[in-house]
Amino acid sequence: MVALLNRRLRRSKWRLPKWKPFPRRLKSLLAGILPKSLYARALFIIIAPMVLLQSVVAFVFMERHWQTVTRRLSDATTRDIAFLISVYEAYPQGDNNKKLIKMAGNDLNLNVQILPEQDLPPVRPKPFFDLLDRTLSDKIRKQIGKPFWIDTVGRSRLVEIRIKLDKVILRVIARRSQTYASNSYIFLLWMVGTSLVLITVAILFMRNQIKPILRLSQAAEQFGKGRPAPADFRPRGAREVRQAAVSFMEMRNRIERQMEQRTTMLAGVSHDLRTVLTRFKLQLAIVGDSAEAKEMLADVDEMQAMLEDYMAFAKGDSSEKSSQVNIRHLLQEIRKQTGRDNTVITLKLPGDAIIVPLRQHAFKRAVTNVVSNAVRFSQNVAIRVAKTKNWLTLRIDDDGPGIPEAEREDVFRPFYRLDDARGQDTGANTGLGLSIARDIVRSHGGDITLKESKMGGLQAIIRVPV
């Protein structure tokens, strides 16, 4: 039907909306309502059936027991009142009706008064939970069939009933327990009490079961940030959780062994290549200070700088341990090392000292690469630092030519060079500066993004968790 209408309305500017299937919409709605954490979901799985079961039990109790008992009590009270009316009408006792009132009090436990003829009081608003009012009214209407007025709210422990007879008003006051199953609250209290006990036990049990999973998550997060796992971390909890913890520890050990082997191999390769370059320099020094020798020496220096970048990119800095780093001191050192006469580097730091756990040398190299790239092609560079509860953010703005939006992700690829005048690396321009920087920042659990700066150039945003 929708497709037919769309075909007929093809020439118009609007189309019928594409409605999602109901199960899919319901699923998306529930996804926004249901809790997100495993602890909360586990409690929900335990508590929801318990609450549903208690609700069903309460409903059955209300329907089968409470209402049944209330109906029978109301029926008995109504029969007693009907009997008193029959006795009054069949055997008049005079003006005071003392015998009828005494008989009602002694035998039926009802407080009866014979009032002069008058209008019945106005009907009061019904209570929100009007089981007694509704049940007692139905019984009086069916068994007595005379105008009446009842008050089940005014005095909590008593129920007042007024029935209009021929020339008098029969006023009956009964205890609430005679017409209403008032002891049912005991059952409700027991039901709520046992539910609270069960929920408390479930919360304590689930917290102990979830704690090993949280510890495993923390250990994995610390490992992803290049930090050591908690000292007391070990497989705990249920069998499946222990198996996951053991698998994680084995995976971590394999990764560390692989990184150690790669570092050792690259260290050997680096040593051999540096030895060859050193021999080149010695041979060029023997040749003399000719123009050709100087050009060859410059080439050797460039090769050595490129070699350092290649080895740094391949080896990484994962072997370095985390330590508490003062960001203010770190940025001041970077400003001294990367500053140029024709470029002004401005630091905008909070008043309080910012000290965060980082791999100091690796993080310094990442920030240096980004700042050097900004200094190389601009005259003004601003570095702003902000720290929240969970993140450290560095924003590096410059007034240089910037980088086209389409190429802002490509510049992080190894050996990528821009076609325009702005490069992205220092030194020999190997195309690895930003790649190394992003690799280091991501090894800390963060990332680097590029966007247009308000200064007219490029803004690099470095975010790492703390």
pLDDT digits (tens, 9 = 90+) for 428-453: 455 678 888 888 888 888 899 999 99
Domain boundaries, the chain: 35-222, 234-315, 323-465
Dihedral, 72, 77, 83, 84 alpha carbons, nearest 10? 180
| Mean of pLDDT values over 85-98 | 73
Dihedral, 322, 326, 327, 331 alpha carbons, nearest 10? -110
DSSP reduced 3-state for 425: coil
48-57, 211-220, 308-317: which has the minimum mean pLDDT? Answer: 308-317
The separation between CA 452 and the C-alpha centre of its own chain, rounded to angstroms, equals 32
CATH number of 234-315: 1.10.287.130
pLDDT in tens, 38-78: 777 777 788 888 888 877 877 777 667 777 777 888 888 88
| Mean of pLDDT values over 157-161 | 85
Name the residue among 318, 335, 338 with its Cα closest to residue 327.
Answer: 335
Among 6-20, 58-72, 448-462, the range of highest mean pLDDT: 448-462
Q: How many residues would you count in the chain?
A: 466
On the question of pLDDT at 29 being above 70, the answer is no
| Mean of pLDDT values over 301-329 | 73
On the question of pLDDT at 461 being above 90, the answer is yes
Please report the pLDDT score of residue 286 as a whole number. Answer: 78
Residue type, 456: G
Whether 258 and 274 have beta carbons less than 8 Å apart is answered as no
**Residue 185 host element (H or E):** helix 184-224
CATH class of 35-222: alpha beta
CA angle 213, 214, 217 (to 5 degrees): 90
Please report the pLDDT score of residue 396 as a whole number. Answer: 93
Percent of the chain scoring above 70 in pLDDT? 80
On the question of pLDDT at 463 being above 90, the answer is yes
The residue ranking higher by pLDDT, 44 or 380, is: 380
Please report the pLDDT score of residue 115 as a whole number. Answer: 86
- CB neighbourhood size of 149 (10 A): 19
pLDDT in tens, 387-436: 888 899 999 999 988 888 888 888 888 777 665 544 444 444 556 788 88
What is the topology classification, in CATH, of domain 323-465? Answer: Heat Shock Protein 90 (3.30.565)
On the question of pLDDT at 186 being above 50, the answer is yes
On the question of pLDDT at 364 being above 80, the answer is yes
Tell me what the pLDDT averaged over the chain comes to: 78
Token code pair at residue 329: 């001191």
Please report the pLDDT score of residue 403 as a whole number. Answer: 87
